Amino acid sequence: MIYTTYNYTEDLANFGYRELDEAGKLLSAIKNGLPDDFNNQRIKVGFNINSGYVFLTNDDCQVAMYDDESEELYSFYTTPYDGLEGCYEELLQQYDDMHPEDQEFMNDIKQYNRKVA
Residues with Cβ within 8 Å of residue 96, at least 6 apart in sequence: none
Strand partners for 29: none
| Beta pairing partners, 111 | none
**Residues near 88 by beta carbon (within 8 Å), at least 6 away in sequence:** 74, 75, 77, 106, 109, 110, 112, 113, 116
Query: Whole-prediction pTM value?
Result: 0.88
Which helix (H) or strand (E) segment holds residue 16: the answer is none
How does pLDDT run across 67-116, given as a tens digit for each residue? 999 999 999 999 999 999 999 999 999 999 999 999 999 999 998 887 65
3-state secondary structure of 111: helix
